[in-house]
Amino acid sequence: MIEVETLTKQFGTKSAVDHLSFTVQKGEVLGFLGPNGAGKSTTMRMITGFIPPTSGDAKVCGISIVDHPSAAKSKIGYLPESAPLYNDMTVIGFLKFCASIRGLKGTGKSDAVERAIETCFLQNVAHQSIDTLSKGYRHRTCLAQALLHDPEVLILDEPTDGLDPNQKFEVRQLIKRLGQTKTILFSTHILEEVEAACSRAVIVDRGKIVADGTPSELVAQSGTNSLTDLFRKVTTRDTEAAA
């Protein structure tokens, strides 16, 4: 599980994340929603130990990312926004390389790569060079590397960004399936993904949580049975902020 405790990040005088607290249980898929600049990616980078918090902490499977970063990171599969790939590698070559970095060896490494390829439906392109892949297959390859060590926790930053409708459907279905046995936190600004893939969602704005609940609870909070209306009500639009 994930426990976020008064997590705060300041860049100079700007508070990107402001005393944020929430939990994600095993078997739960939590959608992390908010407008651009709300603090979603910054929060995820702190939970994964990519950047340090200004204050507060996050625990992954009970392990503090501040006090024991290596142990906490071993529990996490992380798909960052615009995840890097080596274009001159094949898909299977890239995954073997990532598995080696994870410390996997021998049959354990081969089995992990084969399992990730199967889970992310990469069999047809496993021996293709990454620079020949469509954006959808590139996304799946990035997701596959996050699954290699069979982590208990998955943190996915905008996993469907830029995909076509068919590709989005496939990734959402995969997230739902993985969420049956893992703890998943994924960020998005696409509201339809809440009902499509999430068991719960939080909406953040300016680094604070402004709504939290199941998809049906959030729709009910809107007063109009519209998640879009709730989102517009609880978040500050750039045009208003500039007025």
DSSP-based three-state secondary structure for 191: coil
> Are residues 163 and 145 both part of a single domain?
no
Please tell me the total count of domains within the chain.
2
Q: What is the CATH number of the domain that holds 18?
A: 3.40.50.300
Of 150, 165, 180, which residue sits at a domain end? 150
Length of the chain: 243
Looking at residue 243, its pLDDT comes to: 41
Q: Are residues 94 and 125 in the same domain?
A: yes
**In a shared domain, residues 54 and 6:** yes
- Residue 141, domain extent: 82-150
- Give the span between the Cα atoms of 172 and 160, in whole angstroms: 8
**Paired residues of 190 in beta bridges:** none
Claim to verify: residue 215 and residue 181 sit in the same structural domain: yes
Last residue of a domain, which of 150, 166, 199? 150
Residue from 200, 209, 188 nearest 20 by CA: 209
Q: Domain check: are 238 and 170 in the same one?
A: yes
Does residue 64 sit in the same domain as residue 11? yes
Residue 201's SS3 state is: strand
What is the rounded distance in angstroms from the CA atom of residue 68 to the CA atom of residue 60?
10
157 is written with which tokens?
A: 């930053």
In this structure, are 66 and 44 located in the same domain?
yes
The two structure tokens encoding residue 165: 């409708």
Instruction: Tell me the torsion sign for CA atoms 84, 85, 91, 97.
Output: negative
Task: Tell me, yes or no, whether 141 and 163 share the same domain.
Answer: no
Rounded mean pLDDT for each run of 10 residues along the chain, 243 residues in total: 96 94 95 91 95 97 96 94 87 96 94 95 95 89 93 92 83 90 91 89 94 93 91 74 43
Q: What was the pLDDT predicted at 237?
A: 61
Distance separating alpha carbons of residues 203 and 227, to the nearest angstrom: 11
The answer to whether residues 159 and 71 belong to one domain is: yes
Q: Map residue 141 onto helix, strand or coil.
A: helix
Please name the residues in contact with 176: beta carbons below 8 A apart, sequence gap of 6 or more: 29, 197
Same domain, 145 and 156: no
Is residue 49 helix, strand or coil? coil
Going by C-beta distance under 8 Å and a sequence separation of 6 or more, which residues neighbour residue 37? none
Tell me, yes or no, whether 158 and 231 share the same domain: yes
How far does Cα 118 stand from its chain's mean position? 20
| Number of neighbouring beta carbons within 10 Å of residue 87 | 12
The predicted structure's pLDDT at residue 82: 76
Whether 56 contacts 6, CB under 8 Å: yes
Rounded to whole angstroms, the Cα distance separating 15 from 22 reads 18
Rounded distance, CA 197 to CA 79, Å? Answer: 17
Q: In angstroms, rounded to a whole number, what is the distance separating the alpha carbons of residues 69 and 60?
A: 10
**Inter-residue contact 16 to 207 (CB < 8 Å):** yes
Residue type, 52: P
Q: Specify whether 132 is located in the same domain as 172.
A: no
Residue ending a domain, choose from 116, 134, 150? 150
